[in-house]
Amino acid sequence: MPKRSFGPKTMVFPHPVFVIGSYGQDGVPNIATASWAGICCSQPPAVAVSWRPSRLSYDNIMQRGAFTVNIPSTGHARQADYAGIYSGRAGDKFEALGLTPVRSALVDAPAVGEFPVTLHCRLIHSFELGCHTQLVGEILELEVDEAVLDDQGRPDIRKIDPLIYASGDRAYYGVGELVAQAFAVGRRQG
């Protein structure tokens, strides 16, 4: 099949949907949704999230040196989308969305109480890339709802039911069927 060229587009499949928690100067908790993000190091365990410096979250994270990465379920699509559209400068998004800010015991940032997965992160790097600056957080702790663990006590992606963002049709999708075990299906036989 022939290929079509789309020019220099920031399109990969899948993009994640992370809802990032931070505190403002006045102590108001804020959330903002980010898809330009991902794990970036195993030791120290770290996650990178890119921000336009005009965003309130950028200021908050730079000032407090901390953030949380909260992973919404498909049932939270409206809240995740809202948190990406509107600025915390216009009002408290936790309050507007009926979500609970839970003070992290480890870092100076709020977790989203209703979401099944939270990473508690301490800012360790900022890299200016152009219109975005990448903020890298050391992951101090992964917290997961007991309701979304599998029978071996591991976080179960089917129960977490995270959102996936597709930049082609600008839509959210869920996770589908199990395809294969990793580090197994590709092993040489015999």
Q: Report 108-147 residues binding its own copies (CB under 8 A).
A: 117-119, 125, 127, 129-132, 134, 136, 138-147
Of 24-32, 54-62, 158-166, the window that binds its own copies (rule: CB under 8 A) is 158-166
Per CB under 8 A, 156 contacts its own copies: yes
Nearest to 59 by CA among 86, 89, 85: 89
Pairing mode, if any, of strands 66-71 and 101-103?
A: unpaired
User: Contact with its own copies (CB under 8 A): which of 6, 27, 54, 190?
Assistant: 6
CA dihedral over 35, 41, 42, 44, signed as positive or negative:
negative
**CA torsion angle for 89, 138, 51, 144 (degrees, to 10)?**
-60
Output the smallest distance, CB 184 to its own copies, in A. Answer: 7
Give the distance, in angstroms, between the CA of residue 144 and the centroid of all CA atoms in the same chain.
14
Per CB under 8 A, 173 contacts its own copies: yes
Nearer to its own copies, 6 or 98 (CB): 6
170 burial via Cβ count (<10 Å: 0-12, 13-18, 19+): exposed
- Map the footprint of its own copies across residues 48-77, applying CB under 8 A: 48, 50, 69, 71, 74, 77
User: Contact with its own copies (CB under 8 A): which of 27, 98, 184, 190?
Assistant: 184
